[in-house]
């Protein structure tokens, strides 16, 4: 029987939610990743609970607008407690964040990984492609892998294209 999980978007500026995110970050990454800063907590965050448990969340993910590109999002962090890994939660959290990014009108999402093979495999399976940014942002200059996925045209781009088509028809 497959495990059942519940994913909810949360307000990371709420003190209780921020504490849950910090605790999960530490439990998932230990000293390998820095604590989440106030700036990190801006944007959109999701928590995952096992079944209908209202207690301690078992996974988390975040996304914010890109600091380098307009109409793009950055998948800033994802973590799953070790005993819940292997149930497809990272892929589910990718889909949830991609859906939100599309609703926000973003055309692409970007992320980065280091030597985390399961994360890289999840990104590949979800259609992400490696790329080399002009200005790398990762914490490890020679060990960071950069990923992106095209989500489609933004609503702004579609509106602009539709106006151009309408103008062309009018002439």
CATH number, domain containing residue 145: 3.40.630.30
Into how many domains does the chain fold?
1
- Residue that the structure tokens 């399976």 belong to: 125
User: How far, in Å, CA of 32 to CA of 45, rounded?
Assistant: 20
What pLDDT score does 33 carry?
A: 83
What pLDDT score does 140 carry?
A: 67
What pLDDT score does 97 carry?
A: 97
SS3 69: coil
What pLDDT score does 166 carry?
A: 47
Q: Are 109 and 96 in contact (CB under 8 A)?
A: no
Q: Are 41 and 88 in contact (CB under 8 A)?
A: no
Task: Sort strands 5-10 and 44-50 into parallel, antiparallel or unpaired.
Answer: antiparallel
Residue 158: give the domain boundaries: 5-170
Query: What count of other Cβ atoms lies within 10 Å of the Cβ of residue 78?
Result: 21
Task: Give pLDDT tens digits along the chain (171 positions).
Answer: 466 899 999 999 999 999 999 999 999 998 888 889 888 898 999 999 998 677 889 999 999 998 888 889 999 899 999 999 999 999 999 999 999 999 999 999 999 988 788 889 999 999 999 998 888 877 666 678 999 999 987 555 445 444 444 444 444
H-helix or E-strand spanning residue 147: strand 145-150
User: How far, in Å, CA of 144 to CA of 88, rounded?
Assistant: 23
């Amino acid at each position: 029987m497959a495990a059942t999980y519940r994913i909810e978007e949360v307000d990371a500026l709420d003190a209780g939610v921020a504490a849950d995110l910090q605790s999960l970050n530490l439990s998932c990454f230990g000293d390998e990743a820095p604590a989440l800063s106030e700036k990190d907590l801006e944007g959109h965050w999701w928590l995952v609970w096992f079944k209908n448990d209202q207690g301690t969340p078992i996974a988390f993910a975040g996304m914010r607008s890109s600091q380098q590109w307009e109409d793009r999002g950055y998948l800033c962090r994802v973590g799953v407690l070790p005993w819940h890994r292997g149930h497809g939660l990272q892929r589910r959290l990718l889909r949830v964040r991609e859906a939100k990014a599309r609703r926000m009108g973003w055309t692409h999402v970007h992320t980065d990984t280091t030597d985390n093979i399961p994360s890289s495999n999840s990104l590949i399976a979800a259609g992400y492609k490696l790329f080399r940014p002009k200005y790398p942002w990762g914490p490890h200059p020679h060990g960071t892998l950069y990923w992106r996925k095209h989500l489609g045209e933004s609503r702004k781009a579609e509106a602009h294209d539709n106006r151009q088509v309408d103008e062309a028809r009018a002439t």
